[in-house]
Amino acid sequence: MTNINIDPQSLCPCCSKQTYQQCCQPFHLKKQSAKTPEQLMRSRFCAFYLKDYDYLIATHHSQYLNCLDKETLAQEPLPQWLSLDVIRSSHTNDKGQVTFQAWYKLDDEIDAIHECSDFLKCDGQWLYTEGKQMDPVMPKRNDKCVCYSGKKFKQCCGG
């Protein structure tokens, strides 16, 4: 289960604009399975945010784990996850892709994981396999902040 408590009625950390209870909580509680690669990607981002490493391992295709375990995921320093921007999402039959930027703060610096992730549907379950890393596209000074504060980037996390 999660290491961070979250109010089920608060907005979901995956930035879907739904509550956690309506969005990722049913996946984390194993009451539902993701119907699309994007749902799985959002629930995995939320699991990183909540430090729910069991969920991350369970939704990672076993042939692509490459010795990844809970201890590795929990190694310090851990980023402070800020937000998720899904750029593109697609799937056909049992294969899918999601391109995203996952924003985080580490050592007072803002950065993002910009990735095109691959997913496979196995026995009715979507699973993450691997992703192609790309350079993050940083916001401009006058863009809205990546943390969704409503402020300009320069007046918030970029200041």
pLDDT digits (tens, 9 = 90+) for 94-142: 999 999 999 999 998 999 999 999 999 999 999 999 999 999 999 999 9
pLDDT at site 45: 98
- Name residues whose C-beta falls within 8 Å of residue 18's C-beta, 6 or more positions apart in sequence: 11, 12
pLDDT digits (tens, 9 = 90+) for 51-101: 999 999 999 999 999 989 999 999 999 999 999 999 999 999 999 999 999
pLDDT at site 2: 47
pLDDT at site 3: 56
pLDDT at site 64: 96
